[in-house]
Each structure stands twice: as C-alpha cells, then as structure tokens.
Amino acid sequence: MQIVMNHETETAAGAAGMPEDDHAGVLPHADFRCGLAALVGRPNVGKSTLLNALIGFRLSIVSPRPQTTRHRILGIASSEAGQIMYVDTPGLHRGAKRAMNRSLNRAARAAISDVELVVQVIEAGRWTDEDETLYAALAEQNVPRLLAINKVDLTKEKTALLPFVAELASKHSFDEIHYVSALKNKGLGELERAILARLPVRAPVYPPDEITDRSERFLAAEMVREQLMLRLDQELPYATTVEIEQFKDRPDGVAEIHAVIWVERDGQKAIVIGQGGAQLKAIGSAARRRMEQMFDRKVFLRLWVKVREGWVDDEAMLKKLGYDD
C-alpha cells in the first residue's frame, strides 16, 4: 500500500453507468484512459465538495447538513491524460426506516457495482461504524479501492493523523491512501493521478467540454433544493423535495421554469413560504441566480409550495420524483 501525502442529455445507463454511445470515438493517444470512479462515504464527509473540486465546477449541491445529496451525480473531468467520470453518491447510512432513506442506500450501493474504481471518503481522524459498513460493502467489489481522508485542513498538526492512518492501514486494504482537503484544493492532483493510473485505456465517452450527463431540468430542481437545505431549520429540509413542472426556453432567450416544492404538512408549507412570502422569495431569488450562472442565460423562476402527506414513504411518489435512478 502506498500512502500519498499531501446539453442536456440523460442516458438510459444513468449517472453510474456508461452511456450507450461513444461520443468522442477516437483514442486521443496510446495511453489515454477513461472510466467511472465512484466517490462513496457516509453522510457529510464532503463527497460533493470533493466532486466539485475535482471537476473544477460547482455541480453537486452542498450544504452543512448530512444527506444533502439524494441522487447519483456524474461529474466529468477531461484532460490530455484521460477522462474521469466521477460518480457522487448519496451517503450510505444505517437505520434506514423510511422509503426515502432506503432509496438513497440503494442508489449508493448501485453506484459501487457499476464502476472501475471506488474512492472511499472519510473525515480526518474519524472512522465510524458507518465507515466500516461501507468498507465491508466495497470489499465485495473486485475493483481498485482508494481512501481519501478529507478535511485535513481542520487538523493543525498533520503528524497527529499518523497513528490514525497506521491503524486504518493495518486493518483495512486500500490500494492507496490520500490526504486531501476538498475545500482548500489540497492533494487533489495526486488523487486524480492515482485514479487515472487505474482506469482502462479507452477513448473518451464525452466531449472534452462536457461536465455532466444530467439535464438542466434535473439541475434546476437541485438548485432549488439546495436553498431549502441552506435556509430551513432543523428537520424541515428533509421533509421537502422539488419537482420541475415546466422548463422551456422562450423566444426572448429566457429559460422559464415552474417548480413545486413538496412538503408533508400544512405547517411546513407555512414555514417554507414565510411571513408575507419572504422566505419563498429568498429561496427563489437565490436559486434563480445559481441557475443563471450555470445555464448561462436569464431565468424566470416560479415556485409553488404544495402538501403531499407522507411523500417520503410513498414509493410511487419517490419514483415520480426520480428517486429510483
């Protein structure tokens, strides 16, 4: 084991599978490598922040709350050396009693089975029972396994991590262990090179300027949900989800988007709307600015808040909202 210091098309294969068509077609050079690498870990270890840092674009939504990521997100990083298709997964967690939580666990486990390489992400100095459960699941897959110890910027003395890493290495088998800080962009070059070295020699799947296979419609819903995660208190964000009812480009070049925020109870609806509609307006304004930045055009966004009691336990509703991907 080596320890390293330091536009609109969704394919039938989904975020964790290879698209059916080879968009690039020709091997750029003899050593060009391409493949899928899953970023997996328990909730709130920084997988989405790491994905965004690795592809150099704010694709996955990020909040301080665990379980912010609910879908598999494909982020594409292309270089002269190769093309890495990073799969950001929901955090794998135990005690999944609700249908939503079971769906997130299924998505995370499915991602592991479809890739050429897995990067398990943990927090510096912490290895929990959930980390151990995920490690056991990874051990069943016959693919290279890297460990990324994230948030090392929060540890003042890096040498303090050495006993922690030595104990991990004595009990677990990883091809390499990397110290990284997704927030501070530390150690990412070494991690990227380690991933590329283990991917197959293959022509690129996507054009070099492509960053994801997710549609703008999907990303619009995620950007509204990001604001719900950032602006609502306590457990309320977990009782909400977003559905895009309309997404169209008007003749004036403006993207007109109609979105429904679903909640479970009338009291939650009142909180999301806020006094005089102030909360909903703030959510919409912030989401619209993010959309305009990502979509590179003006956006007209309309939001509604509707009640669907028990939607997080409604399998049909979850499938309608895309939680079966």
- Residues whose CB is less than 8 angstroms from the CB of residue 153 and which lie 6 or more positions away in sequence, other chains included: 181, 183, 184, 186
Strand-by-strand arrangement of the 73-78 sheet = 2-4, 176-179, 145-150, 117-123, 33-40, 82-88, 73-78
Q: What is the pLDDT of residues 61-107, one digit of tens each?
A: 888 887 787 788 899 999 999 999 999 887 665 655 677 777 777 77
The residue ranking higher by pLDDT, 12 or 112, is 112
Q: Are residues 119 and 185 in the same domain?
A: yes
- Which pLDDT does position 14 carry in this prediction? 39
Sign for the CA dihedral angle at 290, 44, 243, 270 comes to negative
Reported as a pLDDT band with limits 50, 70 and 90, residue 21 is very low
Nearest to 43, CA basis, from 90, 97, 102: 90
Q: Are residues 226 and 256 in the same domain?
A: yes
The residue ranking higher by pLDDT, 50 or 17, is 50
Reported as a pLDDT band with limits 50, 70 and 90, residue 177 is very high
Query: In the listed set 170, 197, 224, which residue is the last one of a domain according to the structure?
Result: 197
Query: What CATH number did the domain enclosing 80 receive?
Result: 3.40.50.300
- Which pLDDT does position 90 carry in this prediction? 76
Count of structural domains within the chain: 2
Residue 203 lies in a domain: no
What is the number of other CB atoms lying within 10 angstroms of the CB of residue 211? 17
Q: Are residues 138 and 169 in the same domain?
A: yes
CA dihedral 263, 230, 276, 311 (to 10 degrees): 0
As a whole number, mean pLDDT of residues 290-310 equals 96
Residue 295 lies in a domain: yes
Tell me if residue 149 falls in helix, strand or coil: strand
Q: Are residues 32 and 121 in the same domain?
A: yes
Q: Are residues 18 and 114 in the same domain?
A: yes
Is the CB of residue 318 less than 8 Å from the CB of residue 99?
yes
Q: Are residues 96 and 20 in the same domain?
A: yes
CA distance 158 to 113: 34
Q: Are residues 38 and 86 in the same domain?
A: yes
Query: What CATH number did the domain enclosing 242 receive?
Result: 3.30.300.20
Q: What is the pLDDT of residues 246-297, one digit of tens each?
A: 999 999 999 999 999 999 999 999 999 999 999 999 999 999 999 999 999 9
Residue 209 lies in a domain: no
Residue 211 lies in a domain: no
Q: Are residues 241 and 186 in the same domain?
A: no
- Which pLDDT does position 22 carry in this prediction? 47
Q: Are residues 49 and 173 in the same domain?
A: yes
What is the number of other CB atoms lying within 10 angstroms of the CB of residue 4? 17
Residue 311 lies in a domain: yes
Q: Are residues 161 and 64 in the same domain?
A: yes
**pTM of the predicted structure, to 2 decimals:** 0.84
pLDDT > 70 fraction of the chain, expressed in percent and rounded: 89
| Domain, as residue range, for 283 | 216-320
- Which pLDDT does position 249 carry in this prediction? 97
| Residue with token string 């055009």 | 297
Q: Are residues 76 and 9 in the same domain?
A: yes
